[in-house]
Amino acid sequence: MTASADSTPGTDDPPVVVAIHVAKGRRLPMRPTESVHAEAGAGLVGDRYHGTRHRHVSAQSATELAQAAERLGSPVPDDRTRRNLTLSHGAVPTRPGTRVRVGGALLEVVRKAAPCRILDDEIAPGAARALHDRAGTILRVLESGDIAVGDAWVVEEPAS
């Protein structure tokens, strides 16, 4: 499934997960799935980063992919960016410590995701540059739970 900016809901609607992709190993193709289990302290079961210290989940926005495609002059397919979750619209939070509830899982932003140069081979020359500041974010799993296509992406208010 490839995210499309044409199906973007209103900006007041919370973003939803429109695509989930995992890969069993580095440089192996990303495969789409309708749902995935996020394991606290470990990441997405079945993904190459499962068991790493902090890089548990990566997320991107269809809005930002559309902006990158416009800048690149050709499509930027959501499965070719190597991100796990694609959201319907809006910007993905990048401030470390920001917490997000998606499906049954609680995630926390670790850092902004940086596009790698392999994208120039995977998508088109200049893709990494087009995705600069649009490549999404890296999160860790704080609470285990299932994440499915259609789940709302809800940024939680910080504790007072």
pLDDT of residue 159: 54
- Please give the pLDDT value at position 10: 56
**Average pLDDT per block of 10 residues along the chain, 160 residues long:** 43 89 86 97 95 90 93 89 94 94 97 84 85 91 98 81
Per-domain boundaries in the chain = 14-155
Token code pair at residue 120: 């120039």
Q: How confident is the model at residue 3, as a pLDDT?
A: 40
User: How much is the pLDDT for 20?
Assistant: 98
Residue 153 in contact with residue 14, Cβ under 8 Å?
A: yes
d(CA 25, CA 15): 28
Q: For residue 5, what pLDDT is reported?
A: 39
Identify residue 115 by its one-letter amino acid code: P
Phi, psi of 144 (to 5 degrees): -65, 150
Indicate the pTM of the whole model.
0.87
Per DSSP, 10 falls in state -
Is residue 55 classed as helix, strand or coil in its secondary structure?
A: coil
In CATH, the number for domain 14-155 is 2.40.33.20
Query: Could you give phi then psi for residue 91, rounded to 5 degrees?
Result: -100, 145
pLDDT at 128 (0 to 100): 84
Annotate 19-54 with b (16+ C-beta within 10 A) or e (fewer): bbbbbeeeeeebeebeebbbbeebbbeebbbbeeee
